[in-house]
A and B are shown apart, each in its own frame.
Chain A
Amino acid sequence: MRYYVQRVALAILLLLAVSMLTFGALNILGDPLFNILGPVAGDVNNPDSIKMIALAKKEFSLDRSLPVRYFIWLSDFVRGDFGVTFSSTGQPPVSGVISERLPRTISLVFLAQMFAVLVSIPWAIIAAARAGKISDRISTINAFFLVAMPNFAIAVILKFVFSLKLGWTPITYMADDPLRSRLFQLLLPALTIGLPVAAVYQRLLRTDLITTLQQDFILLARTKGLSKTRILFVHALRPSLFSFITVVGLNTGALIGGSIVAETVFRIPGIGSTLVESIFRNDFPVVLAIVMIVASAFVVINLLVDFAYTLIDPRVRR
């Protein structure tokens, strides 16, 4: 029990540290007044402008000191109020932007993860079964190649082959389309993220499987006369799955990063592309909210994986 409490406390501490650093960095290094006021923001010699600047600062709490602003933001944030975007009207509220775009990114990451898992498991099993043979060497080389190809390069290649040359998938993502076509539009982006990840999973699982297969209890199963398939799937796979699941969970963070690239190349309005846009526009509330959501997701998933692991292997709780 103590272990769980400790880990949760650490996670919260972590998130606080992340939020403080991000908040501090953004506020020290950028000036959002232009988004709110236009060129007036810099017209500091004009008495009318000065009045407007003071008003805007008050409205967006920019006239308070940094720690005060941080606490205001934090107390709003934990209550679900992500604040307003830095624009002259404060519209749309940040939570609106996020709630509209987050589901797309989640679907994308989920699709990518599903693809990676579904492809890597059989691939690893086959490779482990034929370890050392030509087909295994080939698949290892394949895996290598995939890992060496950066995800933005994969995105460009996939877009070129399937959208432009073959015309099988649409080029743009339309938010208003029915669910089925939207999912189809997410296919290439999901592949972009999922393919290299599948290769990573496959290599790890294969190594794991091979190690497991060398254990004595496998030998025993063989002498008992169990079939190859049964041994593979039932006896070898199960222990290897634990670390596999761990890796899958921990890797979600990399997938989120990958979604930034995929969303940019395939022009999907999700939080990845929004993050990049908002940074370019100095729209700090949006940037902050997205960073916190991503970090929280990351930390929570890590936590869950950790907890799941302790249930399986109590020694870890030490």
Chain B
Amino acid sequence: MVAVACGGDDSSSSNSSPTETAAPTDSGAPATDAPAEETPVTGGTLRVGLEADVDGLNPTASALAVAGLTMASAVFDPLFTFDVDGNAVPYLAESIEPSADFMVWTMKLRAGVVFHDGTPLTTDAVIKQFEITRNDPLVGLAVKPYYPETDAVVKIDDLTMEFHPKEANQYFPTALTAQLGYIASPTWLDALVADPTLEQQPVGTGPFQFDSRTEDSVTKFVRNDNWWGTDIIGPTYLDAIEFYPVTDPDTRTEMIQNDELDILHTTDTNQFQTYRDDPTLVTSIDDNGEEYFLMINTAKAPFDDIRVRKALALATDRQGYYDLFNSGEGRMADQMFTPDSPYFNADVTQEGNDPEGAAALVAEYCGENPVDDAGVAQCTDGKVNMEYQWSGPSVLATRIADFYNENWKASFNVTFDEKSQADNIQEAALGIYNVVGWRQFGAENPGDDRVWLECRNIGGISLNWPRFCDEARDALIMEIANPASPDERVGSIQKLVQNLHDSYAYVFMTHSSWAIVSTDKVHGNCDRKSPEGNALVCSINGRMFFQSTWLSS
């Protein structure tokens, strides 16, 4: 599982903060592609436009967001990965077997795999990485609660090990498909202790290896000719990949249209029509991953009272938000699944657009003259005092804040806080906020979203950002991890959706749309295969993969 999530708005330019979820989605194949008979050509440098740069590519410590995960996917291989049917299939790992009660998982690595620096891949490397990750104060938060203190991973031999998760989880391998499953060279991890600047020069097992980097300018990887997968999976065609962080979505669009980029990703829905109208570009849009919502801190007054949370939802003009800020793209969200998903619960809709209802609830709440623990009154002049914050500076985020103000001012006295991205994330993590816009969920295995939802994930830094603890919810999550049958699992997930709704800790707004756009010279993005021949997903929540990509001239 991967740590920390994104704060920020949907349809926006880079507002996004550290990392994303382990959120594979089945991205449809691009609308048109080169005819399958065209033979791949070896050679060329792929220029990739990313929405942000990264500080470092250390799977054990770096908070990796979409951009970071895209880069990481080139130099690291995950132990497991998702196929187009949503199953976690072996990749760097050769196989995995559960015990009958799903409490012990025996994993076998492939023989003969070497890291880019020549170190062999062994059980010791995986265990070392696991322990370092677990002890990291940030990334470790996604790992620690799920394993016992000792013997979490036990070595059997140089290629075999046993995982001992705390609870039964029939879908355990899905946790090893993202950051936790990207295995880095132990030699490199040791060197990092002495020289942290090496974080920018990752050493993994991947089809590409680090070549050079100029921060905020370009990071270059070149083909790894000793890649273990060449014989088992297939050749890597690109000579090199150059990653360009381009934070402004307009600029990214211009660059690909001026042939300065070959492929890019974006969540800025304003750009989508431009891409579609351009016949030289191949565009693939997917909104089955994350959702954008208003996130409410349930541990702090006034939003510790469910009436106030509900009032906020009722006061929000969700339709208006969608009309103004989504440019007609994507879909409004009532819950964390789209109607395409088998887990979609048709009985759950997100309330909104009901100012009178909001006023009634606020009147009832304020009528009790509520105060918080410090004795500070929560209402002034019959309206609830609250704070809304966001990551700035961003013209779009400010417009959105102004819009929310219009919605809420009838029942709330809103204090607005534009904070630096750093401060915004910090305060969200530490629970020093009332309401913030956020992006989350969308894990291909919905059970993996548990890290944002369980009671055990509330702490100093809380991955359960709204700090909402509900034992019934935790019980449901256990059932989802270890169901009596797949059908029952679907039922449990749908109950979880209902539970999330009933907590009113989230006001769901829209499903985030990711567009992957490439020129017509780029081929093979969606031709990735696992060692066992499974077809693998094209992209996951904006994360792109390049092992099978090739360029025509």
Chains A and B belong together in one complex:
yes
Q: Give the B-binding residues of A (Cβ under 8 A).
A: 34-35, 38-46, 48-49, 52, 87-92, 100, 171-172, 174-175, 267, 280-282
Cβ distance B47 to chain A, nearest Cβ, rounded Å: 11
Chain A contacts for B421, CB-based, 8 A: 281
Tell me, in angstroms, the Cα distance from A52 to B193 when the chains sit together.
12
Given A34-B423, A267-B248, do A44 and B460 touch, yes or no (CB 8 Å)?
Answer: yes
Asked if B55 is at the interface of the complex by the 8 Å CB criterion, the answer is yes
A38 touching B138 by the CB < 8 A rule?
A: yes
A-B contact pairs, 12 of them (CB 8 A): A34-B425, A43-B137, A45-B460, A46-B461, A48-B135, A48-B140, A52-B137, A89-B196, A89-B200, A90-B197, A92-B214, A172-B255
In the complex with contacts A34-B426, A46-B461, A282-B420 CB distance below 8 A: yes
Residues from chain B with a CB closer than 8 A to the CB of A171 are: 254
Q: State whether A88 and B217 are in contact (beta carbons under 8 Å apart), knowing that A43-B137, A46-B460 are contacts in the complex.
A: no
Interface 1/0s, chain B 404-426, versus A by CB < 8 A?
00000000000000001111011
Instruction: Please tell me if B260 contacts chain A, counting CB pairs below 8 Å.
Output: yes
Tell me the residues in window 170-211 of chain B with beta carbons closer than 8 Å to chain A beta carbons. Answer: 196-197, 199-200
Additional pairs, 13, CB under 8 Å, beyond known A40-B138, A92-B216, A100-B217:
A34-B426, A38-B4, A38-B63, A39-B425, A40-B461, A43-B461, A44-B460, A45-B460, A48-B140, A87-B55, A91-B215, A92-B214, A172-B251
Q: Top 4 A-B pairs ranked by shortest CB distance?
A: A39-B429, A34-B422, A43-B460, A49-B137
> B-side interface residues toward A, CB under 8 Å?
4, 18, 55-56, 61-63, 135, 137-138, 140, 196-197, 199-200, 214-217, 248, 251, 254-255, 260, 392-393, 420-423, 425-427, 429-430, 459-461
B248 nearest CB neighbor, chain A only: A267
A89 with B18: in contact, given A40-B461, A43-B460, A172-B254 (CB under 8 Å)?
no
Residues of B within 8 A of A281 (CB): 420-422
A280 to chain B minimum Cβ distance, whole angstroms, is: 6
Asked if A88 and B199 sit within 8 Å, CB to CB, the answer is yes
Q: Are B196 and A39 in contact (CB under 8 A)?
A: no
Cross-chain contact of A88 among B55, B426, B460 (Cβ < 8 A): B55
Bound CA–CA A42/B63 (angstroms)? 16
Q: Is the CB of B251 within 8 A of A92?
A: no
State the CA gap A88–B430 with chains docked (Å): 20
Pick the most buried of B55, B393, B429, B459: most chain A CB atoms within 10 A of its CB: B55
The answer to whether A39 and B215 have CB atoms under 8 Å apart is no
In the complex with contacts A46-B137, A89-B199, A91-B215, A39-B4 CB distance below 8 A = yes
B201 CB, min distance to chain A CBs, angstroms: 10
Contact residues in A for B461 (Cβ distance below 8 Å): 39-40, 42-43, 46, 49
A32 to B246, CA, bound (A): 24
Determine whether the beta carbon of B429 is less than 8 Å from that of A175.
no
Q: A46-B137, A89-B196 are in contact. Are A35 and B422 (CB under 8 A)?
A: yes
Q: Which residue of A lies closest to B192 (CB)?
A: A89
Shortest B333–chain A CB gap in Å is 26
CB neighbours (8 Å) of B199 from chain A are 88-89
B55 close to A89 (CB less than 8 A): yes
A77 CB to nearest B CB, Å: 21
The residues of A that contact B459 with a CB separation of less than 8 Å are 46
Tell me, rounded to whole Å, the shortest Cβ–Cβ distance linking A215 to chain B: 54
User: In this complex, which of A41, A49, A91, A267 has the most chain B Cβ atoms within 10 angstroms of its Cβ?
Assistant: A91
**A267 / chain B contacts, CB cutoff of 8 Å:** 248, 251
**Cα-based distance from A41 to B137 in the complex (angstroms):** 10
Question: Chain B residues with Cβ under 8 A from A172's Cβ?
Answer: 251, 254-255
Residues in B neighbouring A174, C-beta threshold 8 A: 260
* Minimal Cβ-Cβ distance residue in B for A269: B216
Residue of A49, A90, A91, A175 touching B460 (CB-CB under 8 A):
A49
Give Cα distance in the complex from A280 to B61, angstroms.
24
Q: Which residues of A contact B420 (CB under 8 A)?
A: 280-282
Contacts of B217 in A (CB 8 A): 100, 175
Residues in B neighbouring A45, C-beta threshold 8 A: 460
| Measured CA separation A87–B61 after assembly (Å) | 13
- A46 contacts which chain B residues (CB < 8 A)? 137, 459-461
> Does A39 lie within 8 Å of B430, measured CB to CB?
yes
Contacts of B55 in A (CB 8 A): 87-89
| Contact between chains at A42 and B254 (CB < 8 Å) | no
A45 CA to B430 CA in the complex, in Å?
11
Contact of B392 among A40, A44, A90, A280 (CB under 8 A): A280
CB distance from B268 to the nearest CB of A (A): 16
Contacts of B56 in A (CB 8 A): 88-89
CA distance A6 to B421 in the complex (A): 46
**How far is A281 from B216 in the complex, measured between Cα atoms in Å?**
14
Chain A: which residue is nearest B392 at the CB level?
A280
Q: Which residues of A contact B4 (CB under 8 A)?
A: 38-39
Nearest A residue to B461 via CB reads: A43
Residues of chain B lying within 8 A (CB to CB) of residue A44: 460
Cα–Cα, bound, A49→B429 (Å): 13
Closest beta carbon of chain B to A177's beta carbon, Å: 10
Chain B contacts for A34, CB-based, 8 A: 422-423, 425-426
Q: Return B463 CB to nearest CB of chain A, in Å.
A: 10
Q: In the complex the two chains form, what is the Cα distance from A39 to B63 in whole Å?
A: 10
Assembly CA distance A88 to B135 (angstroms): 17
Question: Complex: how many Å from CA A100 to CA B218?
Answer: 13
Residues of chain B lying within 8 A (CB to CB) of residue A43: 137, 429-430, 460-461
Q: Is the CB of B215 within 8 A of A282?
A: no
A44 to B254, CA, bound (A): 44
Q: Min CB distance, A92 to chain B, in Å?
A: 5
Output the least CB separation between B33 and chain A (Å).
29
CB distance from A84 to the nearest CB of B (A): 9
- Which of B137, B216, B423, B460 lies at the interface centre, i.e. has the most chain A CB atoms within 10 A of its CB? B137
Contacts of B427 in A (CB 8 A): 42
Instruction: Given the known inter-chain contacts A39-B4, A42-B426, please indicate yes or no for A88 contacting B18, CB distance below 8 A.
Output: no
Q: How far is the CB of B518 from chain A (nearest CB, A)?
A: 20
A282/B422 contact (C-beta < 8 A), A39-B138, A171-B254, A172-B251 known: yes
Chain A residue numbers with a CB within 8 Å of B197 are 89-91
| Bound: A91/B196 CA distance, A | 10
- Residues in A with CB closer than 8 Å to B392 are 280
Q: Which of A40, A42, A92 makes the CB contact (< 8 A) with B215?
A: A92
The minimal Cβ–Cβ distance linking A57 to chain B, given in whole angstroms, is: 15
Residues of A within 8 A of B248 (CB): 267
Q: List the B side residues contacting A38 at CB < 8 Å.
A: 4, 18, 63, 138, 425
Q: Let me know if B200 and A41 touch, CB within 8 A.
A: no
* Measured CA separation A39–B433 after assembly (Å): 14
Q: How far is the CA of A38 from the CA of B393 in the complex (A)?
A: 19
Most buried by B among A39, A90, A92: A39
